[in-house]
Amino acid sequence: MNISRLLIIFGIVLVILGLAWPVIQKIGLGRLPGDIVYEKDNVRFYFPIVTSIIVSLILTLIFWIFRK
Cα–Cα distance, 58 to 56 (Å, whole number): 5
- Residue 57 pLDDT: 93
Q: Are residues 54 and 24 in the same domain?
A: no
Q: Are residues 22 and 53 in the same domain?
A: no
Q: Are residues 38 and 18 in the same domain?
A: no
Say what the pTM is: 0.61
Which residue stretches of the chain are H helix? 3-27, 49-67
* Structural domain total, the chain: 2
Q: Are residues 38 and 68 in the same domain?
A: yes
Q: What is the mean pLDDT of each run of 10 residues along the chain (68 residues)?
A: 82 88 80 88 90 89 83
- Residue 1 pLDDT: 65
Residue range(s) defining the domain that contains residue 50: 31-68
- Residue 65 pLDDT: 85
Q: Are residues 35 and 53 in the same domain?
A: yes
Q: Are residues 25 and 35 in the same domain?
A: no
